[in-house]
Amino acid sequence: METPPPWRVLEFYSGIGGMRYSLASSGVRAEVVEAFDINDVANDVYEHNFGHRPCQGNIQTLTAGDLDKYKAHAWLLSPPCQPYTRQGLQKHSADARAFSFIKILNLMQNMSFPPQMLFVENVVGFEVSDTHDQLLAVLSTLSFNTQEFILSPLQFGVPYSRPRYFCLAKQESMCFPNPSVNDKLLRTPTCLTLNTTRTQNSYDQNEDDLEVVCNPIRNFLEAQSIGDKESSAIISDFKEADGCTPIETASHDYTVPLSLIERWGNAMDIVYPESKRCCCFTKSYYRYVKGTGSVLVTSKVRLFSFLSSVPVFSFFAPLTLWCHLIIFTIPYFVIMFFKL
Ligand SMILES: C[S@@+](CC[C@H](N)C(=O)[O-])C[C@H]1O[C@@H](n2cnc3c(N)ncnc32)[C@H](O)[C@@H]1O
């Protein structure tokens, strides 16, 4: 039997390519036929990693004709979250940063080849916004079924507390395996595991309950097992290599200066290699201590180091960590979205 051609996918707000990475690692036969982002630095990173430079520009300027020409089966969208964050002004659709997404929703209604599947990711808070209402209204008009989730990487064994909103949408002709949860917002992915015997209530799990099944941070560190012995060895290596003290040497890397620890230690979210959570990283990581991300204790002598051990883009190390943790989560959705 002839293998069907891969899904044609458009990636909106592609950033550094978390969605694309997830799609690739999911094993789904799909091809990103175009990606769109306005940020040239993000596009540099994306190009470096995927060998394809996203279409650079404002998504708001796209037309239905522009998008029709791709004849894409699926759209992946992670629009700006600032209009919906709890810390922000919560202007929702009135925030200029929401305009491009609303434009996309409007375009969908005027296309000759609209997508058959949609995957939208955003912050918690999006689900109570008027933009969310518009999203669901457009999807309903175009006869899509939706399943919505608020999920955290913790629920996938990744020690990162970052609950996010996800919307899966499929045209009615492409059924979800668990239609009983259509039009529902769930806080657990259990229904995606094809276990249709569970009751609706048993789908609801507390994020905290799931920490127990989470993998420890050490499993995600570059040096896979930073224990007392190993970290001492790392520190000795520093000493031998540069002829200076471990703390002096490590300060060239990601070590938090002792002065900072003395002054702000109480405000830091401190985690250990064996911890099964760390908190959400923001762009203020390094610049501000409180609420911007966790710091990792890397040795018994209380040498602290910023948690930044994923090596792929070392210059953007904290961002990389964020990226890896969140995208470890996404493949599951993409698999479910495409395969089921
Ligand atoms: C939440 S981030 C997406 C992150 C992405 N999923 C990743 O893996 O890196 C939003 C992205 O949308 C881009 N963006 C925001 N407004 C845009 C617009 N009007 N047109 C194109 N890109 C836009 C930003 O540059 C940013 O990279």
Q: What is the spatial distance between Cα 62 and Cα 12, in angstroms, rounded to a whole number?
A: 11
Active-site positions read 81
| Nearest atom in ligand 1 to 14's CA | 5
Q: Give the single-character DSSP code of 209.
A: H
In the prediction, which pLDDT does 248 show? 39
| Nearest atom in ligand 1 to 21's CA | 8
pLDDT digits (tens, 9 = 90+) for 101-136: 999 999 999 999 999 999 999 999 999 999 999 999
And the tokens for 19?
């969605």
| Atom 26 of ligand 1, nearest CA residue | 15
Q: What is the spatial distance between Cα 308 and Cα 100, in angstroms, rounded to a whole number?
A: 33
Pocket test for ligand 1, best of 13, 16, 75 (most atoms within 8 A of CB): 13
Report, as an integer, the average pLDDT of 202-220: 63
**Range from 115-119, 276-280, 334-338 carrying the lowest mean pLDDT:** 334-338
| Nearest atom in ligand 1 to 46's CA | 9
Indicate whether 268 pLDDT > 80: yes
In the prediction, which pLDDT does 249 show? 40
Indicate whether 318 pLDDT > 50: no
pLDDT digits (tens, 9 = 90+) for 16-25: 999 999 899 8
pLDDT digits (tens, 9 = 90+) for 55-114: 999 999 999 999 999 999 999 999 999 999 987 889 999 999 999 999 999 999 999 999
Report, as an integer, the average pLDDT of 300-322: 36
Backbone φ and ψ for 76, nearest 5 degrees, come out as: -110, 125
For ligand 1, the distance from its centroid to the CA atom of residue 43, given in whole angstroms, is 10
Q: What is the spatial distance between Cα 20 and Cα 36, in angstroms, rounded to a whole number?
A: 12
For ligand 1, the distance from its centroid to the CA atom of residue 239, given in whole angstroms, is 42
Confidence category of residue 140, pLDDT binned at 50, 70, 90: very high
Output Rg (C-alpha) for the chain, integer angstroms: 22
The amino acid at 273: P
For ligand 1, the distance from its centroid to the CA atom of residue 199, given in whole angstroms, is 37
HSE (CB half, 13 Å, CA atoms) of 157? 6
Report, as an integer, the average pLDDT of 224-229: 42
Report, as an integer, the average pLDDT of 134-146: 97
Q: Domains, the chain, ranges and CATH?
A: 7-210+322-339 (3.40.50.150), 223-308 (no CATH)
